[in-house]
Amino acid sequence: MPSQPGPRLLSLADRVPAGRPMADIGTDHGLLPVWLLVRGRVPSAIGVDLRAAPLRAAARTAAAWGLAGDPRLSLRQGDGLAPLEVGEVDTVVIAGMGGRRIAALLEAAPRRRSALRRLVLQPNTEARALRAALQDLGWHLVDEDLCVEGGREFLTLVAEPGVGAPLTDAELLLGPVLLQRQAPAFRSWLVREHARLQAAAAAARAGTGRVPQPLAAALEIVAATLGVDAPSS
Ligand SMILES: C[S@@+](CC[C@H](N)C(=O)[O-])C[C@H]1O[C@@H](n2cnc3c(N)ncnc32)[C@H](O)[C@@H]1O
């Protein structure tokens, strides 16, 4: 049996609208577009990667699932959204890159972006910067998911075109949907994030005698959300 997606890729797959063409930017192994086609969820899928080696891996994944030469799957080499025709897909997935990098790929493609109806994004860092960039680009968050794979949490953001209510600092940092839902996985993540920020603040205080403002602000927001006291900086 060829390799199957784990919870991280399934969190993305579940948020790709059924019946609409999609593209996976930075597809690497190609398992997401292949899986969506195998499951019959999308009529066509495009896997894009900057480098040739990942696209060869994606072609092997397609062959393993019986999709070699299938006209519904297109694998293209190129930078970000550039290999897509304007209006060719409704949904773009970008996963496994930093939030600022994902934002830069979206900012670099205004015409292609404006023809999209949904973005499904999985930043591995800098979620705050990505939420802020989406807001600046005139997109709003309609869903957020935290899933666990290999003992690590992964965040999925789903955005659609249209300006929403301006996000507060807490919503930018922690996610408007996650904050509203208060799911158990989010609360557990918040407790660990609080411990991580506290350790970083203690290290900064020991090293320079002060806690940098962005770190102090993040700690204050996380502590307030958890309902515990933030240490004074
Ligand atoms: C860590 S992998 C993530 C793979 C897959 N999206 C996932 O989440 O499992 C990142 C992939 O993005 C590709 N990549 C990086 N920058 C890119 C760009 N500007 N355009 C297209 N692909 C890019 C890399 O070559 C690599 O294959």
The CATH number given to whatever domain includes residue 74 is 3.40.50.150
Q: Which domain holds residue 204?
A: 185-226
In this structure, is residue 171 part of a structural domain?
A: no
Distance between start and end Cα atoms, the chain: 54
Instruction: Please indicate, yes or no, whether residues 113 and 212 belong to a single structural domain of this protein.
Output: no
Mean pLDDT of 10-35: 98
pLDDT tens digits, 158-214: 999 999 899 999 999 999 999 999 999 899 999 999 999 999 999 999 999 999 999
Instruction: Please indicate, yes or no, whether residues 216 and 114 belong to a single structural domain of this protein.
Output: no
Last residue of a domain, one of 165, 200, 216: 165
- Residue of 49, 76, 94 to test ligand 1 pocket, by largest number of atoms within 8 Å of CB: 49
In this structure, is residue 129 part of a structural domain?
A: yes
Instruction: Please indicate, yes or no, whether residues 139 and 81 belong to a single structural domain of this protein.
Output: yes
Mean pLDDT of 101-122: 98
Query: Chain-wide mean pLDDT for the chain?
Result: 96
In this structure, is residue 147 part of a structural domain?
A: yes
* Ligand 1 center to 29 CA (angstroms): 9
* Ligand 1 center to 118 CA (angstroms): 19
pTM: 0.95
* pLDDT attached to residue 230: 59
* pLDDT attached to residue 232: 56
In this structure, is residue 174 part of a structural domain?
A: no
Number of domains in the chain: 2
Instruction: Please indicate, yes or no, whether residues 152 and 220 belong to a single structural domain of this protein.
Output: no
In this structure, is residue 2 part of a structural domain?
A: no
